[in-house]
Amino acid sequence: MPRTTRVAALAAAGLLAALVVPTAHGALASASRSRAVDPAGLARYYGQRPAWRRCDAPGAPVSYQCATITVPVDYAHPDGRTLRLRISRLRTSTPGKRHGVLLSNPGGPGNSGLGDPLQLKEVMSMSVLQSYDLIGFDPRGLGASSPLRCGLTQDEADSTEPYHPYRATMFAEDTARARDIAAKCTARNGSRLLPYINTRNTARDMDVIRGVLGQRRISYVGWSYGSYLGAVYTQLFPRHSDRMVLDSAPDPNRFGRGTVLAMAAGAEPAFEDWSRLIARRDRTYHLGDTPTQVRAGFRQLVARADRTPLSYEGDDLDHQGEALTGADIRSWMRWSFAAEPYRAARDIVALRASRPARRTTGPDTGAADPTDDNAVGLNWAIDCADNTASWPRYPSRYPRDARHESAVHPLYGDFAANITPCAFWPRGAERVTRVDNSVSALVVQNQWDPQTPLPGGRAMHRALHGSRLVYVRGGRGHAIYGLPGAPACVTRTVDAYLTDGHLPKNDVTCAS
């Protein structure tokens, strides 16, 4: 997923705005599910005056500044334990044209956003850069913001594929692995922290950042999971939401297991589209001159690799020299079919010519790299705690679901439905957020997004009644705005919204 501060003194009006929170949608709903939060109890957080210093980033300009603020672990008990939140900023070079602040989140969950201002400075148009101070932050539990630690092995922290295909003979091992990951994270963090690492609290942290910056409202750009985070912010703080750009969005009201199952559902039409595309180029790839032949050849390759792993001899540096099973190929290609169709075809040609691997290595049981341990632990924490009810608590449910999903969505269904640590995760501190409001927002979506498929973007658009959808017909890959190759139509539409605040009169369709 894509990677991507502000007045130092807090104006009195800004503080008052921070304390006037809407109640119709539970803007500061209790983390204990039953008790409303007294906004006055949060005054000391909104009233912080951060000490800005040059960020510790090699080669960064002097103007790139960082600071640390504190936020409560549990917003229902603001006098309790706290977390340290690291934030960054790049001020606009033309204060006379400044509209406000632009926060961002690059997704994950588990991707650091502290360096976003530097990256956005390189890709955003001058009109946007003149309008905003760019604000980055590492969400609670991640990176420089009181990082979560689980003590995982490198195998357990393998972020390249957190989901595993269902096999009856492996289910007991998969269950033990999932239980171990949950047990390690619980033992290290327990009920004092894990239930409060969730999207609602990250959105509340964003509002503290808003108050600390002395702003009545914030604008925002979020990609992938970051779009969901932005949507939750609009639900909790509609009066504080300004210009919101949500790029490559999941269905905000199916977050949790539903998001993963949506990946499997989205993989099938992408596979069908890829097979049609490659069949028309049979003279180049020789994978079949009909879509049926192309799909059949891929399935034969997967079956061959399941019998004997293949030694990859293609040009993909990430897989160079690896012994790839059929499951590895399905997981890898689920992404590539949609995002990089011609590269996927070249890789399949290379795999068909590959020799059986001489040997395979076992799982890496050494301690995970601390960054991997933190990112993967944080990812599970959000996925599992945000919508606890979406994850079955009985392991016996997963084989049935996996067999069903595999029959309906054979490319990735058994991955999506197999057991995960969420089956054993401590229950979240509060109910999942239902997004249903009329806040102004721009939802940006590719047709062939392999990670957050098109139906999710459409669902986000429906949930935000004040939004417009920017749909890229034929668009491939995950995340659009600010990335290389983004259609000029998308850039132009998003830039205009961020600069003048006016949504298009109607939804916009862009060509890829």
Chain mean pLDDT for the chain: 90
Give the pair of three-digit tokens for residue 152. Answer: 């995982």
203 within domain boundaries: yes
Determine the Cα–Cα distance for residues 47 and 352; give it in Å rounded to an integer.
Answer: 62
Task: Look at 24-28, 65-69, 402-406 and tell me which has the smallest mean pLDDT.
Answer: 24-28
Q: Give the model confidence (pLDDT) of 241-291 as tens digits.
A: 999 999 999 999 999 999 999 999 999 999 999 999 999 999 999 999 999
Report DSSP state, residue 146: S
* Residue whose entry in the numeric block shows the structure tokens 């630690």: 149
Quote the pLDDT of residue 123: 93
Residue 27: what pLDDT? 35
pLDDT interval class at 362 (50, 70, 90) = confident
pLDDT of residue 160: 63
Q: CB-based contacts of 16: which residues, under 8 Å, 6+ apart?
A: none
Residue 40, pLDDT above cutoff 80: no
Task: Judge whether 114 and 66 are in contact, CB under 8 Å.
Answer: yes
- 60: in domain: yes
> What is the pLDDT at residue 32?
34
367 domain residue, yes or no: no
- pTM, whole model, 2 decimals? 0.91
Q: Tell whether 264 is covered by a domain.
A: no
Residue 410 structure tokens:
């054979």
Residue 359 has pLDDT above 90, yes or no: no
What is residue 321's predicted lDDT score, i.e. its pLDDT? Answer: 80
Two tokens, residue 250: 């999941």
Nearest to 380 by CA among 397, 372, 211, 106: 372
- Does residue 93 form part of some domain? yes
Average pLDDT over residues 11-24: 25
Q: pLDDT tens for residues 105-141?
A: 999 998 999 999 999 999 999 999 999 999 999 999 9
Ordered DSSP codes for 20-68: ---TTTTTT--TTSS----GGGGHHHHT-----EE---TT--TT-EEEE
- Domains held by the chain: number: 1
CA–CA gap between residue 375 and residue 110 (Å, rounded):
5
Helix (H, G, I), strand (E, B) or coil at 183: helix
pLDDT, residue 59, reads 86
pLDDT of residue 360: 60
Q: What pLDDT was estimated at residue 161?
A: 74
| Residue-range definition of the domain harbouring residue 452 | 12-147+199-255+439-511
> According to the model, what pLDDT value does residue 13 have?
23
Task: Please state at what angle helix 326-339 crosses helix 341-352, rounded to 10 degrees.
Answer: 150
Query: Residue 313 has what pLDDT?
Result: 84
Residue 409, in any domain of the structure:
no
Residue 38 pLDDT level (bands cut at 50, 70, 90) = low
What is the gyration radius of the CA atoms in the chain, in angstroms?
A: 23
Torsion of CA 191, 194, 195, 200, to 10 degrees: 150
* Of residues 11 and 147, more confidently modeled: 147
**CA–centroid distance for 135 within its chain:** 18
Question: With 70 as the cut, is the pLDDT of residue 15 above it?
Answer: no
| Domain contains 375 | no
**Structure confidence at residue 159 (pLDDT):** 62
Q: How confident is the model at residue 409 (pLDDT cuts 50, 70, 90)?
A: very high
pLDDT the model gives residue 93: 87
* Other Cβ atoms within 10 Å of 510 Cβ, number: 21
Q: How far apart are CA 216 and CA 13, in angstroms?
A: 8
Q: Is the pLDDT of residue 10 over 50?
A: no
Rounded Cα gap, residues 178 and 169, in angstroms = 16
Q: Which residue has the tokens 């069949």?
A: 279
pLDDT above 60: residue 2: no
Residue 475, token pair as written in the block = 């668009």
pLDDT at 291: 98
- Model pLDDT, residue 421: 97
Half-sphere exposure (Cβ direction) of 367: Cα atoms closer than 13 Å: 7
Checking if the pLDDT of 28 tops 50, the result is: no
Q: Quick check: 5 pLDDT over 70?
A: no
Of the pLDDT bands very low, low, confident and very high (cuts 50, 70, 90), residue 429 is: confident
CATH classification at residue 218: 3.40.50.1820
Tell whether 299 is covered by a domain. no
Q: Which CA distances in Å does 139 have to 71, 149, 308, 370? A: 11, 14, 42, 17
